[in-house]
Amino acid sequence: MLDRDLPSQGGLSVLEFRQVSKTYDAGHGRVTALKDLSISVRPGEFLTVVGPSGCGKSTLLNLLVGLEQPSGGDILLNGSRSIDRRRIGYVMQNDNLYPWRTLRENVEFPLELRNVPEAERRRISLDYLAKVHLRDFADRYPHELSGGMRQRGNIVRALSFSPDLIIMDEPFGPLDAQTRLLLQNQLLELWADEGKTVIFITHDLPEAIALGDRVMVLTARPGRVKSVHDVPIPRPRNVRHLHEDSVYRDLLSRLGDELAEEISAGGVSQ
């Protein structure tokens, strides 16, 4: 859908993992988290990733932002190995808003790092907070907000500096089902506005299908690509009503079987 906005990029993939492997040297031995993982992420795509616990999902993102180094293979952004990590917005699993900053100051933090002038920072942060219905909470501190509010703050903080790529690691994991649905819809709206490339990790298959253009299923550790599925459900989507959609139900059943295979193959590792 977003290809129309990116004619100059043609078939160029914004991000490519080529045969990426990662082995950790843990005290008690070596753990191969990822093995020969290859995937091309298209410009503007919303790619979701599911896989059993411990199969290397977080590792994949940590390699991308340089928190870890691959043991083999390449990660290329627009064909280049040198990735400007300031162009990536990372939403980690647990919201990590600074407790001593208000919500607005948290959202402004990446803009401060990039020397955006104060008035401009304020305009951008309040704009984003309004988009996720948090304008009235801009001057509150994280401890005064619900988990869902903090996580919305966390997400708009990762968007505020206009990154090329947004990566999210189970961002809605700890939230209750209703808040999750609300945030999923809000995330889809933000994404539709922004047209950014997103890699979204989740252990929740319904969420992966509801949000993604494609779903990548990883095997049990060491994580490899088991399969990649298109999600041909038209947008805009309302995640609340997807269970009525036969394409959604069919994918849920097929991918559910695949995931179950991997979970039983991996035992209860981790």
Name the residues that contact Mg ion, by CB under 5 A.
57-58
Considering the complex, state which of residue 125 and residue 202 has its C-beta at the smaller distance from ligand ADP. 202
Q: Which is nearer to Mg ion, 17 or 161 (CB)?
A: 17
Q: Quick one: which segment of 25-33, 111-119, 153-161, 238-246 binds ligand ADP (CB under 6 A)? A: 25-33
Q: How far is the CB of 63 from ligand ADP (least distance, A)?
A: 9
Sheet holding 225-230, edge to edge: 88-91, 165-169, 197-201, 46-50, 214-218, 225-230
Binding of ligand ADP by 153 (CB under 6 A): no
Distance in angstroms (rounded) separating the CA atoms of residues 197 and 213: 11
What are the strands, taking DSSP E only, across the chain?
A: 15-26, 29-41, 46-50, 72-77, 88-91, 165-169, 197-201, 214-218, 225-230
Binding-site member from 35, 180, 221, 237 for ligand ADP (CB under 6 A): 221
3-state secondary structure (DSSP) of residue 125: helix
Residues in contact with 155: Cβ distance below 8 Å, sequence separation at least 6, in sequence order: 91, 132, 168, 171, 183, 187, 190
Applying CB under 6 A, does 20 fall inside the site for ligand ADP?
no
Contact partner at residue 222 from Mg ion, ligand ADP, none, CB < 5 to 8 Å by partner kind: none
135: Cβ contacts below 8 Å, ≥ 6 apart: 126, 129
Touching ligand ADP, residues 47-86 (CB under 6 A) = 51, 53-59
Asked whether position 24 contacts ligand ADP by CB under 6 A, the answer is yes
Q: Does 33 bind ligand ADP (CB under 6 A)?
A: yes
Is residue 31 involved in binding ligand ADP (CB under 6 A)? yes
The site for ligand ADP (CB under 6 A) is made up of 24, 26, 31, 33, 51, 53-59, 221, 270
